Chains A and B, each alone.
Chain A
Amino acid sequence: MKKNKFKQNTLPALAMAGPVSLWMILFVTLPMLYIIYISFMSRGIFGDVVYEFSLDSYKTLLDSTYFKVIVKSMKAAFITTLLCILIGYPFAYYIAKQPKEVASKLIMLVMIPFWTNSLMRLNSWLLLFQTSGPVNNFLQNAGFIDSPISFVYTDGLVMIGMITNMLPFAVLPMYSSIEKLSKSLLEASADLGASRSTTFFNITLPLTFPGIFSSIILVFIPSLGIYTVTDMLGGGKVLYIGNIIKNQFGAIRNWPLGAALSVLLIVITGLLIFIYTRFAKIEDMEVV
Chain B
Amino acid sequence: MSAIVSLINVEKSFGKNKVVKSMNIEVKEGEFLTLLGPSGCGKTTTLRMIAGFEDATSGIIKVQGVRVEDKEPFERDVNTVFQNYALFPHMTVFDNIAYGLKIKKRPKDEIKKRVNEMLDLVQLKGYENRKPDALSGGQKQRVAIARALINNPKVLLLDEPLGALDLKLRKQMQVELKRLQKKLGITFVYVTHDQEEALTMSDRIAVMNEGVIEQLGTPREIYDRPLTKFVAGFIGESNIFDGKVISVNDGIIYVETSAGTMKVKGNGFEAGEDIHVSIRPEHIKVSADSVEGFNLRGKIKDNIYMGTFVKTSVDLKDKTEIKYSRIEKEEEFTEGNFVNIYWNPERAVAIKSKS
- Tell me the A residues contacting B by CB distance below 8 Å: 1-5, 8
Contact = CB atoms under 8 A, between A and B. Distances in A.
Nearest to A3: B70
A1 B67 CA distance: 11
B72 A8 contact: yes
Contacts of A2: 55, 70
Contacts of A1: 69-70
Contacts of A4: 70, 72
A1 B69 CA distance: 9
Contacts of B69: 1
Contacts of B72: 4, 8
9 contacts: A1-B70, A2-B55, A2-B70, A3-B70, A4-B70, A4-B72, A5-B55, A8-B55, A8-B72
A4 B72 CA distance: 9
What is the interface of chain A mostly: helix, strand, loop, or mixed?
A: loop
Contacts of A5: 55
Given A1-B70, A8-B55, 8 more contacts: A1-B69, A2-B55, A2-B70, A3-B70, A4-B70, A4-B72, A5-B55, A8-B72
A12 to B, nearest CB: 11
A2 B55 CA distance: 10
B93 to A, nearest CB: 29
A277 B55 CA distance: 36
For the side of the interface on B, what is the size category?
under 10
A5 to B, nearest CB: 8
Nearest to B58: A1
Interface string B272-312: 00000000000000000000000000000000000000000
A1 B61 CA distance: 13
B255 to A, nearest CB: 49
B295 to A, nearest CB: 55
Nearest to B72: A8
A4 B70 CA distance: 6
Nearest to B71: A4
B54 to A, nearest CB: 11
Nearest to A8: B72
B48 to A, nearest CB: 14
A8 B55 CA distance: 10
A254 B72 CA distance: 59
A88 B72 CA distance: 53
Nearest to A5: B55
Contacts of B70: 1-4
Interface in B60-76: 69-70, 72
A8 to B, nearest CB: 7
B242 to A, nearest CB: 44
A102 to B, nearest CB: 24
Nearest to B60: A1
Which 4 pairs, one residue from A and one from B, show the smallest C-beta to C-beta distance? A4-B70, A8-B72, A3-B70, A1-B70
B13 to A, nearest CB: 15
A40 B69 CA distance: 56
A1 B72 CA distance: 14
Nearest to B67: A1
Contacts of A3: 70
A2 B58 CA distance: 10
Interface string B146-180: 00000000000000000000000000000000000
A3 B72 CA distance: 12
Nearest to B70: A4
Nearest to B69: A1
A5 B55 CA distance: 9
Interface in B14-73: 55, 69-70, 72
A23 to B, nearest CB: 29
Interface string B236-251: 0000000000000000
B74 to A, nearest CB: 11
Contacts of A8: 55, 72
A3 B70 CA distance: 8
A1 to B, nearest CB: 7
A1 B68 CA distance: 11
A14 B69 CA distance: 22
B273 to A, nearest CB: 43
Please indicate which of the listed interface residues A2, A5, A8 has the most CB atoms of chain B within 10 Å of its own CB: A8
A3 B69 CA distance: 11
A1 B57 CA distance: 12
A7 to B, nearest CB: 8
Interface string B90-133: 00000000000000000000000000000000000000000000
Nearest to A9: B55
A2 B57 CA distance: 10
Contacts of B55: 2, 5, 8
A5 B54 CA distance: 12
A123 to B, nearest CB: 44
